[in-house]
Structure 1
Amino acid sequence: MKDFYANFYSKTFCFTVRYKIIVEYDGSNFSGWQRQKHSLNSIQQILEGAIKNFSNEEVTVYCGGRTDAGVHALGQVVHFDLKKEHKLYVVRNAINYHLRPLPICVLSAETADDEFHARFSAKKRHYLYRIINRYAPLTLDHNRAWQVCQKLDVNKMNKAAKYLIGKHDFSSFRAKDCQAKNPIKTIDNIEILQDNYNINIAISARSFLHNQVRIITGTLVECGRNRLLPEKILSILKQCKRSAAGITAPPYGLYLIRIDY
């Protein structure tokens, strides 16, 4: 009888606290977000280890947007559950302490409802791709932007981008190993801004296919190089095959900026 009540109590009154944290990282030397069998160098594994070190609890962390190897984040959203409640500044500071000296940090921490899920509750994701359009080598922005030496026509890139906004079959703009069952996605906005040598491509949508932003960027750069007419974007979409689109831009120019809920 004693074991019955102990088991009943543990199942009925075992509460957990859900934490939502905003994480920033330089993805240059990591294998990407997702935990991997043959690598201990993923952002997910490192965060889980840091949380365990301060809380003495085994946790699984979930992110709002999986990033590939080399991709950066300024506003990655992560959630996890702990059995013990901690002050929010302790959660932030303790995780950061155990992350040192790696280029990963927790910017903020808050509690969330049990129904909140970093991935499935997301309403919109915002990415930024950075291009530096100059011939001189990169110093401060090495591994943080894509250097394109040939002068780009940003007006043509913007014209091409307009054809991608809206709901389309993006089969031509996803990696061959993309596991998404449905290639139809809706892009809400693409904005390309130039400031001297800096060209920033901002893309927003509820969700993306694997490598979609990087393939879009590579294709827009082909338009900027005058190798592809902006109007050809329509033909690329209709062909629904990866070989129709441009190159996949390097990962190190891509940043996950923000996720809306």
Structure 2
Amino acid sequence: MPRYRIDVEYDGSPYSGWQRQAGQHSVQAAIEQAILRFCSQEVVLRGAGRTDAGVHATGQVAHFDLEKNWPAETVRDALNAHLTMAGEKVSILNAGRVTDDFDSRFSARRRHYLYRIINRRPPLALESGRAWHVAKRLDHEAMHMAAQRLIGTHDFTTFRSVQCQSKSPVKTLDRLEVMRSGELIEIRTDARSFLHNQVRSMVGTLKRVGEGAWNADDVTAALEAKDRAACGPVAPACGLYLVGVDYA
């Protein structure tokens, strides 16, 4: 059976997350329904990352198998047509044939996330639901310096959700950068894989540094505590984006 890879963009606001859940509206289920309407075939769509409710994506990757060898452009355009007709906030950016051993989740070598903070006094209008609004002025340079304490291989229990299903809390963080452009603060992070809520937990902790409540040593102490109670508040889902997945 031909295997297809799709690159997906979505607004996570109306969804329960990527993963299909009984009685919930998910991104996975929306695309599976579009495939069914396109070619009358029920498939199980597999994604590179299981984003939570409200989390967005500009570079999610998924794969599925079809019984017929359709042109990739036909798959992309047909799925987009059915997603649009259904009123879904999902777009298939690209579709292509891949080898049978390609797996969007297990073949992935690195995942890239972006977290957006709008740092200003006035409330958000256009960016509402697309970023975390923080009214108090944040010191992004202090946040960046503190973020470097988390780079490398560590036990990230402190930054791990109690619902996390990963077998080990040990992960290797390749990048964690904090940059400002005007009122926009971007936090970019890369790793082969992340724990459940790890990125949002790290962002919430760095916000404490930015507002002056913590310093870099406090971040190190929180990491070394290996205790969820030592973590800062979990940042809201609306600011998080899965922006890319690398493959060999």
TM-score by length of 1: 0.93
1:19 partnered with 2:13: no
Per the alignment, residue 31 of structure 1 pairs with 16
Distance 1:125 1:106 in 2: 19
- Count how many residue pairs are aligned between Structure 1 and Structure 2: 245
Distance 1:211 1:128 in 2: 13
1:182 partnered with 2:175: no
Per the alignment, residue 83 of structure 1 pairs with 67
Contact residue 164 and residue 195 of structure 2 kept, 8 A: yes
Q: Deviations over 1:83-113 (max 9, x none)?
A: 1010111100000011012210100100011
How far apart are residue 68 of structure 1 and its match?
0.4
The root-mean-square deviation of aligned C-alpha atoms, in Å, is 0.6
Structure 1 segments of 4+ aligned residues over 3 angstroms from their partners: none
1:115 partnered with 2:94: no
Question: Match for 2:245: what amino acid?
Answer: I
How far apart are residue 38 of structure 1 and its match?
2.2
Per the alignment, residue 259 of structure 1 pairs with 245
| 1:235 aligned counterpart, secondary structure | helix
Distance 1:108 1:179 in 2: 30
Question: Match for 1:171: what amino acid?
Answer: T
Distance 1:21 1:155 in 2: 37
Per the alignment, residue 81 of structure 2 pairs with 97
How far apart are residue 229 of structure 1 and its match?
1.2
Structure of larger gyration radius: 1
Distance 1:188 1:81 in 2: 32
Of 222, 235, 239, the residue aligned with 2:221 is: 235
| 1:123 aligned counterpart, secondary structure | strand
* Structure 2: gaps spanning 5 or more residues: none
Distance 1:26 1:234 in 2: 34
How far apart are residue 179 of structure 1 and its match?
1.3
Q: Deviations over 1:164-198 (max 9, x none)?
A: 00000000001111111100000001111100100
Greater shift, 144-153 or 174-183, is seen at 174-183
Q: How does 1:43-54 map to 2 (within 5 A)?
A: 43-54=27-38
User: Percent same amino acid at aligned positions?
Assistant: 49
Per the alignment, residue 65 of structure 1 pairs with 49
Per the alignment, residue 133 of structure 1 pairs with 119
Distance 1:77 1:38 in 2: 24
1:221 partnered with 2:207: yes
Distance 1:191 1:155 in 2: 10
Per the alignment, residue 74 of structure 1 pairs with 58
Distance 1:89 1:38 in 2: 32
Distance 2:70 2:55 in 1: 31
* Structure 1: gaps spanning 5 or more residues: 1-15
Of 18, 21, 26, the residue aligned with 1:42 is: 26
Of 131, 136, 140, the residue aligned with 1:154 is: 140
Distance 1:20 1:229 in 2: 43
Distance 2:89 2:20 in 1: 18
| 1:107 aligned counterpart, secondary structure | strand
Q: Deviations over 1:11-59 (max 9, x none)?
A: xxxxx000000000000111100111122x1011111000011011110
Distance 2:77 2:69 in 1: 15
Distance 2:31 2:163 in 1: 26
TM-score by length of 2: 0.98
Distance 1:177 1:119 in 2: 20
| 2:88 aligned counterpart, secondary structure | coil
Q: Deviations over 1:229-252 (max 9, x none)?
A: 111122111111111010000000
Question: Match for 1:28: what amino acid?
Answer: S
